[in-house]
Amino acid sequence: MIAPASPSGTTGTSVTLPVPAMPRVRKDPSEIRSPEGVEKKVLLAAPRGYCAGVDRAVITVEKALEHYGSPVYVRKEIVHNRHVVDTLSAQGAIFVDETDEVPEGERVVFSAHGVSPAVHSEAAERNLATIDATCPLVTKVHKEAVRFARDGYTIILVGHAGHEEVEGTMGEAPEAIVLVQNPEEARTVEIPETGKLVWISQTTLSVDETMQTVDILKERFPALTSPPSDDICYATQNRQVAVKKLAPGADLVLVVGSANSSNSVRLVEVALEHGAKAAHRVDFAREVDEEWFHDVATVGVTSGASVPESLVQDLLKLLADYGFTTVEEVKTAEEDLMFSLPRELRSDLKKAGLKTSNKKDGADRDHELR
């Protein structure tokens, strides 16, 4: 089990959130060496934070709790963000690692990262009611894997071993898929003799590193064909483009996101590769080490695709305390994609005469999961 249940959190009018770790005793801002005669400022990436797949997955759990009541089981972290998981736990969601931890006949939500067909079968055997919150852009990759395998291709999946999305995709056609994690593995991987070879990828990788990996594979296997469209999703790409733009002008880049969030970790790497003098990932503003601010005039700020905006605002408040009061937005794209709620949930909400929109209370969602 990933997080303890707090079913009582759903019944009262107020929700008790987990007690956060005590913040460290902070330095006085005057103890930080400031650069002489240079204005301190923040370059704030846009887009940043929640993508359409994460938004849909989080609302799915919230609406499931509202409609069915607690407990609602969730297989794996619904999205890779500590704050989101802790908050939903406090509202009555019970996070488990595997479906066999869910009591027979109960309801389970599958996370945004997707599951293999074997997980669907296990859930059916246990008579579980399932709600599949797999991001539609992950489902697209699953469908590609199924189609290419059916058409006799050997599939090279570029992705990271052990990531839930990769496990789910590989489970669609385990006999046909070979995992390649990086350029080093592309140089040494052995591929079974086949006339048909195609690559697909995890949705949350570094665009540049993936293309390096694919270039090496293409040199070694000239028959390698590409998928019809990008598998690295729009949100991952957009957040990387924005951080590439601000990184050359930043002494320090701070990425809000969890350690197990692939796209958040990639943002730190991309910032460093594109000129940031330093870059760090934090889950919460309280994790920032003020030593990082010495001689820093410009701080770049962004957040991964599973991060509520409230956590970025907390970081901006902390930065303001240290004199970084000017905030300039670095905008590289507009995003307005929205996915409808999972079919099973929509159907139950509709039968009950309830709204099936994934907008909370009809309002635009800014996801203040506090």
Annotated binding site: 51, 80, 113, 135, 163, 203, 233, 261-263, 306
Among 235, 252, 268, 282, indicate the residue that binds ligand SF4 (CB under 6 A). 235
Question: Is 261 a binder of ligand SF4 (CB under 6 A)?
Answer: no
Among 44, 137, 216, 349, indicate the residue that binds ligand SF4 (CB under 6 A). 137
**Nearest one of 203, 159, 163, 151 to 178, comparing CA atoms:** 159
Two structure tokens written together for 172: 């669609």
Site string for ligand SF4, 287-316 (x = CB under 6 A): ------------------x-----------
Looking at 51-59, 252-260, 317-325, 348-356, which segment touches ligand SF4 (CB under 6 A)? 51-59
Question: Is 276 exposed, middle or buried, given 0-12, 13-18 or 19+ CB atoms closer than 10 A?
Answer: buried
Between residues 107 and 113, which has the closer beta carbon with respect to ligand SF4?
Answer: 113
Report the chain's C-alpha Rg in angstroms: 22
Catalytic residues: 165
Among 52, 85, 94, 108, indicate the residue that binds ligand SF4 (CB under 6 A). 52
CB contact at 8 A, 213 and 204: no
Site for ligand SF4 in 61-120 (CB under 6 A): 112
Return the half-sphere exposure (C-beta side, CA atoms, 13 A cut-off) of residue 338.
Answer: 10
Question: Is 214 a binder of ligand SF4 (CB under 6 A)?
Answer: no
Looking at 115-123, 187-195, 230-238, 276-284, which segment touches ligand SF4 (CB under 6 A)? 230-238
Between residues 6 and 240, which has the closer beta carbon with respect to ligand SF4?
Answer: 240
Gap between the Cα atoms of 340 and 136, Å rounded: 10
User: What SS3 state is found at 11?
Assistant: coil
- Binding-site annotation, residues for [4Fe-4S] cluster: 51, 135, 233
Looking at 26-34, 61-69, 98-106, 131-139, which segment touches ligand SF4 (CB under 6 A)? 131-139
Angle of the 262-273 helix axis to the 207-220 helix axis, nearest 10: 90
Gap between the Cα atoms of 100 and 112, Å rounded: 19
Question: Is 205 a binder of ligand SF4 (CB under 6 A)?
Answer: no
Among 5, 54, 61, 180, indicate the residue that binds ligand SF4 (CB under 6 A). 54
Say how many residues touch ligand SF4, by CB under 6 A: 15
Least distance to ligand SF4 from the beta carbon of 362, Å?
Answer: 23
CB contact at 8 A, 298 and 326: no
Q: How far is CA 348 from CA 56, 65, 99, 121, 129, in A?
A: 16, 13, 22, 22, 12
Gap between the Cα atoms of 87 and 71, Å rounded: 14
Between residues 5 and 135, which has the closer beta carbon with respect to ligand SF4?
Answer: 135
Least distance to ligand SF4 from the beta carbon of 51, Å?
Answer: 3
CB contact at 8 A, 225 and 281: no
> How remote is the C-alpha of 67 from its chain's centroid?
25
Name 55's Cβ contacts closer than 8 Å, sequence gap at least 6: 338, 339, 358, 365, 367
Least distance to ligand SF4 from the beta carbon of 259, Å?
Answer: 16
Among 42, 138, 205, 345, indicate the residue that binds ligand SF4 (CB under 6 A). 138
DSSP-derived secondary structure letter, 51:
-
Looking at 148-156, 185-193, 231-239, 313-321, which segment touches ligand SF4 (CB under 6 A)? 231-239
Gap between the Cα atoms of 62 and 340, Å rounded: 14
Residue of this chain nearest to ligand SF4 (CB atom): 53
Question: Is 60 a binder of ligand SF4 (CB under 6 A)?
Answer: no
Between residues 123 and 305, which has the closer beta carbon with respect to ligand SF4?
Answer: 305
Applying CB under 6 A, which residues contact ligand SF4? 51-54, 112, 135, 137-138, 203-204, 233, 235-236, 263, 305
